[in-house]
Structure 1
Amino acid sequence: MIIIQPSGGLCNRMRVINSGWRLARERHDQLKVLWNCNAELNCPFESLFQPVKEFKITSIHSVADPRKLFHQKTARHYLTNDEILAHRNADGILDPAYVATLTGKTYIFTWEWFYPSEDYHLFVPTDRLQARIDAMTAKFGSSCVGVHIRRTDNQPAIGKSSTDAFITSMKKELEADPDTMFYLATDDKQEEAALREVFPDRILSNEDRCLRRDSVDGMHDALLDLYCLASTRKIIGSYFSSFTDIAADMHKIPKVIAGE
């Protein structure tokens, strides 16, 4: 059995689960996911996504949960971020020779991508959230570019992907196609106000969104942003952001990183 305890935010957890599912398939093994509802993401999996058959989800609300401690203590192998980083190869995935040693019950607690994953078909939004996504994407028209601006606690993104860098990239898109609209996903409403001044009548967004990751409403709005970004033709994203990366990877759409 493989037990995955994905940590971090929504996109970190999605890519960890994808990695674990691929590893479990190759091992012909069962996959169990311990989904910790905490300040980083305080929303149950089933409130975001449709039920899955490929693995079992168990919600926990504490790192001291007895079910979590049981699996951790009875695992033959226990992998953390440090262990994964120490055994990743040049392609960024766990070295096959190391993977071959992970026999028996394996517990993986990480936010790191560690195994090649094919797509994100495992993650289907609930009917209620899909209806909200559909209502928003219906406004996109034929030429909509996604813009993801990460601020708050992501210092690498703030330093590399400045507001001016986003504006420059967005102006280039308009020069190439004057009909371009932008779907903006950001955790900073001041950034949104600034971009609306520069690009009047060009910005679409979930204006009434909740930005609290420790709330169900906040995570519903985050998922809406993710799937709307993934429905654009291209993404202008933030440096060192899994949210940008996963939004582009979901439907294999091109991305550029503002400031690079």
Structure 2
Amino acid sequence: MIIIQPSGGLCNRIRVINSAYELAKKRGDKLTVLWLNNAELNCPFESLFAPVTEIKIINIYSNMNFKKILLQLSSQQRFNNTMIENNKKDGVLNEDFFQSLKKRVYISTWEHFYPSSDYRFFKPTRQIQERIDAITSQFGDTCVGVHIRRTDHTWAIESSKTDGFVNAIDKELTQNPKTKFYIATDDINEENYLRDRFPDAIISNQSKTLSRNSIAGMHDALIDLICLSKTNKLFGSYYSSFTDVSADMGQIEKIVIR
């Protein structure tokens, strides 16, 4: 059995679960996911996604959860983020490390360790999908996604400047003045600035909650993620899993603004 406790935000967890599922398939094994509700992502799995049957999801609300501790202690091997990072190359677990895995393995990580573009476990709930459909119905023939990461992401702030996004939007509008842009950002000032600059071209989830430490905030994060994936291409932020996963989900062109 593989027991995985994905950590970090929404997209880190999605990639970790996908990796763990690929590992479980490679081993012909079962997968159990410990979904920790905490300040990084304070929302139960089933409040975001439709029910899944191929993997077992256990919501926990503390690292001292009895089930979690029991699964951890009963595992023959336990690996943390650093161990996973040190035993993979090019996003794949080293073969000798894979061969050394015992029958019951517990992993806690935000690292993805097997590439996968299979997002079968991450279909939004009906209520969230209805909100997504209402937004994407405004996209028209051409809509470009714009993901601007701010707040706590130093590399994105330093590398993906606002002027770079403005220049990319300007260039796109020069080529096709009817283009719409779906804006997903964790900084409302960035969105307001782009609305003022391009008043007829901007679409967004205007009623969203930004806090990840709330169910409403995580619903809105998932809406942004899926809406970005439904655009024709994406202007994204440097070193952002949110940019990477949304582009991968939609199999769309990703242009990182630097």
TM-score range, shorter chain: over 0.9
Query: In 2, are the aligned partners of 1:19 and 1:115 still within 8 Å (CA)?
Result: yes
Using structure 2 for the length normalisation, give the TM-score.
0.98
What's the CA shift for 1:138? 0.5
2: CA distance between counterparts of 1:3 and 1:68? 9
Q: Which residue of 1 aligns with 2:203?
A: 204
Q: Which residue of 2 aligns with 1:173?
A: 172
- After superposition, residues 1-260 of structure 1 pair within 5 angstroms as 1-89=1-89, 91-259=90-258
SS in structure 2 of the partner of residue 57 of structure 1: strand
Query: In 2, are the aligned partners of 1:6 and 1:17 still within 8 Å (CA)?
Result: yes
Query: In 2, are the aligned partners of 1:23 and 1:115 still within 8 Å (CA)?
Result: yes
2: CA distance between counterparts of 1:134 and 1:69? 40
- Give the residue type in structure 2 aligned to 1:152: T
What's the CA shift for 1:103? 2.1
After superposition, give the CA deviation of every residue in 1:195-228 in whole Å (9 maximum; x if it has no partner).
1121111100011110010100000000000000
Structure 1 stretches lacking a partner, 5+ long: none
- Give the residue type in structure 1 aligned to 2:257: A
After superposition, give the CA deviation of every residue in 1:62-104 in whole Å (9 maximum; x if it has no partner).
0011111111112111111111111111x22211221111121
Query: In 1, are the aligned partners of 2:117 and 2:248 still within 8 Å (CA)?
Result: no
2: CA distance between counterparts of 1:194 and 1:122? 36
Using structure 1 for the length normalisation, give the TM-score.
0.97
What's the CA shift for 1:106? 0.6
Moved over 4 A (4+): none
Query: In 1, are the aligned partners of 2:42 and 2:214 still within 8 Å (CA)?
Result: yes
More displaced 10-residue stretch of structure 1: 64-73 or 28-37: 64-73
CA RMSD of aligned residues (A): 0.9
Structure 2 stretches lacking a partner, 5+ long: none
2: CA distance between counterparts of 1:77 and 1:247? 33
More displaced 10-residue stretch of structure 1: 174-183 or 147-156: 174-183
1: CA distance between counterparts of 2:27 and 2:91? 20
- Give the residue type in structure 1 aligned to 2:254: K
Query: In 2, are the aligned partners of 1:119 and 1:249 still within 8 Å (CA)?
Result: no
After superposition, give the CA deviation of every residue in 1:168-200 in whole Å (9 maximum; x if it has no partner).
111121122221100000010000111112111
- Give the residue type in structure 2 aligned to 1:129: I
What's the CA shift for 1:132? 0.6
Q: % of aligned pairs identical?
A: 54
Give the paired residue count.
Answer: 258
